Amino acid sequence: MSNETDSGLAPNAKRLLWAGFMAILAAGVGFGVRGGILGDWGTQYGFTQTELGEVTGFGLVGFGVIILLGALFADLIGYGKLMIAAFVCHFASAVLTLAAGAAFKSGGKDAAYQCLKWGMILFSVGNGLAEAVVNPLVATLFPKNRTHYLNILHAGWPAGLVLGALASYFMVGKASWEMQWGLFLIPVVVYGVMCLGQSFPKSEASEKGVSTGSMLAEFAAPLLLVLLFIHALVGYVELGTDSWISNITGNILASPQNGLLLFVYTSSLMFVLRFFAGPIVHKISPVGLLFVSALFGATGLTLLGSAEGAVACVLAATVYGIGKTFLWPTMLGVVSDRFPKGGAITIGAIGGVGMLSAGFLGGPGIGYKQDYFASKDLKEKAPAVYEAYKAPNENKFLFFPPIVGLDGTKVGEVRGLDAAKRTPDQVKVHDADLHGGRTALKVTAAVPATMAVLYLFILLYFKSKGGYKAVHIDGSEAKH
């Protein structure tokens, strides 16, 4: 239960929990603020959209890879040393990024690009190292109630997104991008100070003498492989959709600002609800919570794809927000409960797979779907208008057929016009653009629906075994 007594915990358990919370919050602030200052970078340093995309990509690509690598060596190196490394990377990232202006004055566009590039690389490395540590750390510190405390830990992510998004909303055009990015340093310094002089435990597997080979042998378990697959879907639907949701809802509401505020609302909802995972899990089990969450996620995305007007959007976003809230941290809790012999490696694999799926599949895949459905709709209804508004190059995604989407600059101009001032051709473009976003959300709803089916099978599996129970390592299991 969530009221686990402190008597059996390490004296600094709560301090390390909140240090981890602040580390994840720092990552959320960084992501939120960066989304709001990309335009400033393009304007000040003359970057193309492609170059800006490359810079943001550097901040994502390494995240999942570093989680995997960091988790592989976390028990060998020690959690404390890796948290120091995460702090150093985060701090250096902030300094390098803030130096872009000075670099531009002395070395021009290329120098500024290098500062931002390496700043974002260090940002992703810091995020990955912190994530590789804090997940197994909290699972170790709170062995009787892992899911509850992992949800509290990961409440730091939506909290950071909210702070970063609000900074963009209130500070864009009023404060320099450097001042906005400087906000990222605050939680970095806080978690660094909270980690100073602290004793970090080893994972249950490491403490019991389980070898690295035995930890890796856990991946032969069919259930773990299924959970890894499901978490790839979680990364796709949660982080992938979040990359686009404010853009799509902003179009539905005919206001980018309102789309951003709707994202702030769902992230705030997510932050609050994650503190109540413990009592829910006590009633219906972690897998039961995952099943219900997936159903809410599928329903919410379907409703969002059909929503008309502000009230319908808010109601649909509420259902979707509830659905995505518990998925990521509860999956971490299930893996740490059922595969303790995997130590930091198995829980790190879950986080890494989810992040890689979001970066390589979720964001690009949902973008492709928007292009596909928007261009198809306009081409069928107004071929001549499509020819005038189509992009100069075709888009590709995995094994799906290449398509020629709509030109982002031209569509952006249409979005910026008042509805009453649009020409008949521009109305057709707007309708096709809106259709593409709506349909992409409806199609994406199939992902959490698939997850719900898989969770149902897992529920039935545990029921046949006498119910869901956490596994603990005894002396005989630690032999290797």
Could you say which DSSP state residue 201 is in? Answer: P
Residue 89 inside a domain? The answer is yes
**Per-residue confidence (pLDDT) for residue 187, from 0 to 100:** 95
Same domain? For 188 and 225 the reply is no
**pLDDT score, position 320:** 94
* 5: confidence class by pLDDT, cuts 50, 70, 90: very low
pLDDT at residue 190 in the model: 96
Three-state DSSP class for 237? helix
Q: Give how many domains the chain has, as a whole number.
A: 2
Q: What's the confidence (pLDDT) of residue 326?
A: 94
Helix (H) or strand (E) holding 255: none
Query: Do residue 117 and residue 241 come from a single domain?
Result: no
Structure tokens belonging to residue 85: 């490394």
Mean pLDDT across 278-292:
91
User: Which structural domain, as residue segments, surrounds residue 179?
Assistant: 14-201
68-79: burial string, b at 16+ Cβ within 10 Å, e else: bbbbbbbbeebb
Residue where one domain finishes, among candidates 201, 229, 246: 201
Cβ–Cβ under 8 Å, residues 305 and 168: no
Regarding whether 368 and 244 lie in a shared domain, the answer is yes
Q: Which helix (H) or strand (E) holds 401?
A: strand 400-403
Q: Quick one: which of 250, 248, 241 has its CA closest to 374?
A: 248
Dihedral over Cα of 37, 42, 48, 52: its sign? negative
Identify the pLDDT of residue 278.
86
Residues 245 and 278 grouped into a single domain: yes
Rounded distance, CA 191 to CA 271, Å? 19
Task: Specify the pLDDT at position 50.
Answer: 57
Of 195, 164, 174, 301, the C-alpha closest to 238 is: 301
Q: Is residue 3 one of the residues assigned to a domain?
A: no
Encoding tokens for residue 356? 């890689």
Residue by residue, DSSP assigns 91-137 as HHHHHHHHTHHHHHHHHHHHHHHHHHHHHHHHHHHHHHHHHHHHHHH
pLDDT at residue 334 in the model: 95
> CA–CA separation, 303 vs 249, rounded Å?
12
Residues 441 and 248 sit within 8 Å (Cβ to Cβ):
yes
Query: Can you tell me the distance from the alpha carbon of 234 to that of 270, in angstroms, rounded to the nearest whole number?
Result: 15
The answer to whether residue 480 sits within a structural domain is no
pLDDT band at 114; cut points 50, 70, 90: very high
Residues 439 and 454 both lie in one domain: yes
* Domain identity same for 211 and 263: yes
Q: Say whether both 235 and 270 belong to one domain.
A: yes
For residue 5, is it within any domain? no
- Given 201, 217, 239, the domain boundary residue is 201
Q: Do 190 and 307 sit in the same domain of this protein?
A: no
- The reported pLDDT for the residue numbered 480 is 47
**Does residue 479 have a pLDDT over 70?**
no
Structure tokens at 332: 């971490």
Residue 307 shares a structural domain with residue 404: yes
- State percent of the chain over pLDDT 70: 94
Whole-number Å distance between alpha carbons of 67 and 349:
7
What is the per-residue pLDDT across 346-371, written as a single tens digit (0 to 9) for each? 998 998 899 888 877 887 888 888 88
pLDDT, residue 123, reads: 92
Q: How far is CA 107 from CA 45, 94, 112, 124, 258, in A?
A: 11, 20, 7, 25, 39
The percent of residues in the chain predicted with pLDDT above 90, rounded, is: 47
Amino acid, res. 222: P
Rounded alpha-carbon distances, angstroms, from residue 247 to 188, 203, 206, 268: 28, 41, 45, 18
Q: Compute the half-sphere exposure of residue 416: CA atoms within 13 Å on the CB side of its CA.
A: 6
Q: Mean pLDDT, the chain, as a whole number? A: 87
Note whether residue 478 is domain-resident: no
Confidence of residue 3 (pLDDT cuts 50, 70, 90): very low
**What CATH number should be reported for the domain holding residue 44?**
1.20.1250.20
Res 1: pLDDT: 38
Domain end (from 145, 180, 201):
201
Please tell me the predicted confidence (pLDDT) of residue 60.
Answer: 66
CA–CA distance, 307 with 432 (Å, rounded to integer): 16
Q: Residue 293: pLDDT above 80?
A: yes
Q: Is residue 436 part of a domain?
A: yes
Residues 397-455: tens digit of each pLDDT: 888 888 888 887 788 788 778 888 889 999 999 999 889 889 989 999 999 999 999 99
Look at residue 9 and tell me if it is in a domain: no
For residue 298, name the pLDDT band (cuts at 50, 70, 90): very high
Burial zone of 305 (CB within 10 Å; 0-12 exposed, 13-18 middle, 19+ buried): buried
Q: pLDDT for 147-196, tens place per residue?
A: 999 999 999 999 998 998 888 778 766 778 898 898 889 999 999 999 99
Same domain, 241 and 331: yes
Instruction: Please tell me whether residues 105 and 175 are part of one structural domain.
Output: yes
Sign of the C-alpha dihedral computed for residues 4, 10, 14 and 20 taken in this order: negative
- Which pLDDT does position 460 carry in this prediction? 95
- The model's pLDDT over 27-79, given as tens digits with 9 standing for 90+, comes to 999 888 887 787 788 778 877 655 776 777 676 667 888 888 888 888 888 89
Question: Residue 183's CB: how many other CB atoms inside 10 A?
Answer: 20
pLDDT for 57 equals 66
Rounded to the nearest 10°, the torsion over CA 82, 83, 85, 91 is 160
Same domain, 156 and 207: no
Is 246 a domain residue?
Answer: yes
